[in-house]
Amino acid sequence: MIKTVYVNIPSYIEDSNYRYKMPKPQLKIEGRGNGIKTNIMNLHEIAKALNCHDQYPLKYLGFEFGSQTSYKFKNDNDVTCIINGAFQDDQIRKQLDKFIEKYILCQKCRYPEMYMKIKGGKIIYGQCDSCGHVSDLDNAHRLASYILKNPPGNQSIKSGQEEVQMINSEGQTGNKEDKQKKKKVLAAEVGLDSELLEAFLVQLRDTYNRLVVNDKIDNDVADMMLTQDIKKFNLDRHLKDRVCYLIFQSMFDENPTKAFERNYELLTTYFNDLDPQLASCHIILNIQYLMKKRNIDDKYFTTVLKGFYDYSYIDEQYLLKWFENTDEWKNESKEDFLFNEQLDNHYRQLSEPMINWMKSQAGQEEEYYEEEEAEGEQPDVQQ
């Protein structure tokens, strides 16, 4: 076994406590004469650390060295990345750092927190998840045209979709048992760390941003396309909490309440399809996680919670169950992969004024409806 050695991203940063690290490239020279080539044995792991396709750094190295590359992906543990010619650690490391500077690091804060995106099908740009900075990337490099043809999200998604199609296609090959086995494997793969989930997340985010960036597409079309993206993933019911998570991750940012109106239809379609109780549970946990992940000030928690409540995405009775920390809530929430007891208690405390307000409103609303009914009109009851 070769022990994995980690270096900083990029490797010339000398701080040993730096939090962004990637595996040091492991090279193996294979063949000889004209057929000599360099196998970058752990490029797949490196690309994972860089949060990009294996092919991006591989092609970059190929272009820089003027060499052919070859790439084979069988599964997560069996990926082959080869460059023709014999290259030394130093050469690979230097070029990999250049790739990182151009396509991975935020141009402002220099952290490798940038999401690569494409606008108008022509320009590659990046948005930083750490500082929010947006800037164009190196569109003149030969890699740029490769990226445009193979946009972020697409390749790994392809393998994910193929798998889903395989499961959905009836009968031609394999028997039922095989298919069931495959379905189980796929379900198991969709964990938080799974590449498939990550790829789906990237795709959703890309789709969403593409639609937002491109003003020509109207909201209805945008919502429809996003819905299709979600449907394509074909998750079974047990994985619905993951879809909820993906929706949150892709639609809600530092200002979650803004996303309601724009995505009203999609959100409603999705949440209506879930058991109201289950949906409420997922939503509450996702709000907590979003607040934490996006560093949203605690004082906005009730605003966000109320937003979801106002749009009827959270069931009122369930919200009270959550607030009272009933056994029902405890049993259900701990099944969800986002549940964190400490966070849960923290936000529960913060929500007290809002819950009190809600309780006082509930009484008033009843009176209001009674009056309306007395006048012979249908009350505008929430769905």
Give the footprint of Zn ion on this chain (CB under 5 A). Answer: 106, 108-109, 128, 130-131, 133
Rounded Cα gap, residues 73 and 158, in angstroms: 12
From the CB of 104, what's the least distance to Zn ion, in Å? 11
Contacts of 169 (CB under 8 A, 6+ apart): none
Residues 6+ apart with CB under 8 A from 347: 287, 288, 291, 301
CB closer to Zn ion out of 131 and 148:
131
Give whichever of 25 and 126 is closer to Zn ion, judged by the CB atom.
126
Report how far residue 315's alpha carbon sits from residue 321's, in angstroms, rounded to the nearest whole number.
10
Beta carbon of residue 35, minimum distance to Zn ion (angstroms, whole number): 43
The CB-of-212 to Zn ion minimum distance in angstroms stands at 19
Least distance to Zn ion, CB of residue 132, Å = 7
Give the nearest distance from C-beta 152 to Zn ion in angstroms. Answer: 17
Question: How many residues in the chain?
Answer: 383
- Nearest approach in angstroms of CB 52 to Zn ion is 16
Please say which residue, 133 or 183, places its beta carbon nearer to Zn ion.
133
User: Alpha-carbon distance 244 to 238, whole Å?
Assistant: 12
Quote the CA–CA distance of 190 and 192 in Å, as a whole number.
7
Residues linked to residue 84 through DSSP beta bridges, in sequence order: 37
Least Cβ distance, residue 106 to Zn ion (angstroms) = 3
Antiparallel, parallel or unpaired: β 114-119 and 123-128: antiparallel
CB of 137 to Zn ion, least distance (A): 13
Residue matched to tokens 């052919």 = 68
Q: Given the complex with Zn ion, which of 27 and 106 has the nearer CB atom?
A: 106
Query: Three-class SS of residue 278?
Result: helix
Please give the order of strands across the beta sheet that includes 123-128.
114-119, 123-128, 134-136
Minimum CB–partner distance for residue 99 and Zn ion (Å) = 18
State both tokens at 200. Answer: 């789906």
Nearer residue to Zn ion within complex by CB, 133 or 292: 133
Phi, psi at 36, each rounded to 5°: -70, 140
Alpha helices in the chain (DSSP H): 43-50, 55-65, 89-103, 142-149, 154-168, 176-189, 195-213, 219-232, 240-251, 259-262, 264-272, 276-293, 301-310, 316-323, 327-333, 341-350, 352-374
Give the nearest distance from C-beta 325 to Zn ion in angstroms: 38
Q: Kindly state the greatest CA–CA separation across the chain.
A: 94
Is the peptide bond preceding residue 10 cis, with omega within 30 degrees of 0? yes
3-state secondary structure of 136: strand
